[in-house]
C-alpha cells in the first residue's frame, strides 16, 4: 500500500523539486497528487482520494475549509507553532519524507498498515566475553563487510550504554525513543514508525539513533524485542539484522538469542576471557535445559585482537568462526574499517545468496 499524498503549495519551484525527489526515491511508498486549483483540491479531499495533505504558508488558508477531513502537514520556513504538524521546508527531502511518514504512522493503526513483501533475513547477535574484547567493533565490522558485499543490513544496538553515535551519527529527526514509544503504547503503525526512525550511515548501514536516556533500555520487555525484530525482518528491507548485546541471561537477552541464527562470542583470547567463557558455557547450557531452548548449538567464537604473546584458544567445545589481528595505535573507526575489509564475514554473504 502506498500513501496517497496531495501537495498544494504556493512555491511552484519548490513543489516541482519536492515532486521530482519523491517520485525518484519514494515512488514505491507515495502516490502523489499535485493541485494548483483550490476547488479541485477540495473536491479531491471530499471524494477521499488521498490520505494526507501538505500545505505551505502561502496555501495555509485552504485548511480552513478542510478541517479534520484529512491529515494535514504544513511546510514552513521556521517552526513557530502557528500551524499544526509544522515541518521545516529547508532541510533534506529525505527527512521531510520521514517526518510525513511518522505523522501518518501516528494516525493509522497497526491493523490498517501497509505490508511489505516478506523475504528471508538472517539474524546475528554479537556478545563480548570480557571487557575490551571489542563486541561492538566486530559487530560494526560485520555490518560494514556485508554492505561492501552488496547486502542490506540493519545494526541494532541493545546495550544499556551503547556507543553507536561514535561511528554512526547521521542527521535525522527521530530515534529509538520513538520506536519504543510505539511499541509500548501500541499506537500508530509500527512498520511506518520504524521506517521514519531509521537512519543510514555514510557506509550504508541502517540503524536507530540511541535513546536520549539510557535507562529506557532497561524498560524494554522480551515481547517488545520480539515484536521489533520481527518487524525489521518482515519489512523485506534487510538481508541481515545484526544485534549488538551484552552476554547475560535476562529475559530480553534470551529472547534475542532465541531469534538469532548465529550467536557470536567475541574474545581476545586472554586468560580472563577463557575463564569467563567456561562460566558462560555452563550458564547457557543451564538455560537450554531449564527453558528448553537451543542456544548453545548456535554459539561460535570470534577472536579479536588476538596476540601470539598473550592469547590462546579459550574453548575446545565451541566452533571458532574466525579471528582478527591486533591493530596498534588505530582509532575506533579505523579499526572497524580495517576489519571489514578482511574475508572473515564473506561466508555469511555466501550463505545469504544461497537463501535467495
Cell numbers 555490518: residue? 143
Rg (CA), the chain: 24
pLDDT at 110: 39
Q: Please tell me the predicted confidence (pLDDT) of residue 29.
A: 82
| b (16+ CB within 10 A) / e for 158-167 | bbeebebeeb
Instruction: Note the pLDDT of residue 356.
Output: 62
For 24, residues 6+ apart whose C-beta sits below 8 A from its C-beta are: none
Contact of 190 with 277, CB cutoff 8 Å:
no
In the chain, which residues have pLDDT < 50? 109-119
**What pLDDT score was predicted for residue 117?**
34
pLDDT for the residue 309 = 66
Q: Which domains, from first to last, does the chain contain?
A: 3-107 (3.40.50.10850), 122-355 (3.40.50.300)
Give the pLDDT of residue 1.
Answer: 57
What is the predicted pLDDT for the residue at 115?
Answer: 34
Reported as a single tens digit per residue, the pLDDT across 157-205 is: 999 888 777 788 888 889 999 999 999 988 777 888 899 999 999 999 9
Contact indicator for 298, 260 with CB cutoff of 8 Å: yes
pTM of the predicted protein model: 0.73
Bridge partners, residue 206, by sequence: 154, 200
Residue pLDDT, tens place only, 204-252: 999 999 999 999 999 999 999 999 998 998 888 899 999 999 999 999 9
Amino acid at each position: 500500500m502506498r500513501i496517497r499524498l496531495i501537495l498544494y503549495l504556493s512555491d511552484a519551484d519548490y513543489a516541482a523539486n519536492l515532486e521530482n525527489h519523491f517520485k525518484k526515491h519514494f515512488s514505491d511508498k507515495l502516490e502523489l497528487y499535485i493541485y494548483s486549483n483550490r476547488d479541485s483540491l477540495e473536491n479531491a479531499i471530499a471524494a477521499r482520494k488521498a490520505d494526507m495533505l501538505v500545505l505551505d504558508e502561502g496555501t495555509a488558508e485552504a485548511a480552513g475549509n478542510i478541517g479534520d477531513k484529512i491529515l494535514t502537514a504544513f511546510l514552513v520556513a521556521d517552526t513557530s507553532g502557528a500551524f499544526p504538524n509544522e515541518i521545516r521546508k529547508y532541510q533534506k527531502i529525505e527527512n521531510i519524507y520521514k517526518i510525513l511518514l511518522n505523522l501518518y504512522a501516528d494516525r493509522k493503526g497497526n491493523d490498517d498498515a501497509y505490508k511489505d513483501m516478506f523475504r528471508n533475513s538472517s539474524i546475528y547477535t554479537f556478545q563480548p566475553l570480557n571487557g575490551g574484547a571489542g563486541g561492538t567493533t566486530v559487530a560494526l565490522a560485520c555490518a560494514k563487510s556485508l554492505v561492501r558485499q552488496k547486502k542490506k543490513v540493519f545494526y541494532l544496538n541493545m546495550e544499556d550504554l551503547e556507543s553507536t553515535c561514535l561511528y554512526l551519527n547521521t542527521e535525522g529527526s527521530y530515534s529509538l525513543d520513538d520506536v519504543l514509544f510505539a511499541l509500548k503504547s501500541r499506537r500508530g503503525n509500527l512498520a511506518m514508525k520504524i521506517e521514519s526512525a531509521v537512519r543510514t550511515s555514510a557506509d550504508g548501514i541502517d540503524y536507530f539513533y540511541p535513546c536520549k536516556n539510557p535507562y529506557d533500555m532497561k524498560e524494554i520487555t522480551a515481547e517488545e524485542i520480539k515484536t521489533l525484530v520481527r518487524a525489521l525482518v518482515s519489512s523485506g528491507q534487510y538481508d541481515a539484522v545484526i544485534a549488538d548485546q551484552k552476554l547475560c541471561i535476562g529475559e530480553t537477552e534470551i529472547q534475542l538469542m532465541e531469534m538469532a541464527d548465529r550467536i557470536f562470542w567475541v574474545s581476545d583470547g586472554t586468560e580472563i576471557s577463557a575463564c569467563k567463557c567456561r562460566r558462560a558455557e555452563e550458564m547457557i547450557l543451564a538455560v537450554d535445559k531449564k527453558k528448553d531452548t537451543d542456544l548453545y548449538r548456535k554459539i561460535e567464537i570470534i577472536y579479536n585482537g588476538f596476540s601470539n604473546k598473550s592469547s590462546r584458544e579459550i574453548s575446545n567445545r565451541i566452533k571458532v568462526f574466525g579471528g582478527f589481528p591486533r591493530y596498534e595505535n588505530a582509532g575506533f573507526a579505523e579499526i572497524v574499517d580495517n576489519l571489514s575489509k578482511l574475508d572473515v564475514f564473506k561466508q555469511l554473504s555466501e550463505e545469504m545468496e544461497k537463501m535467495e
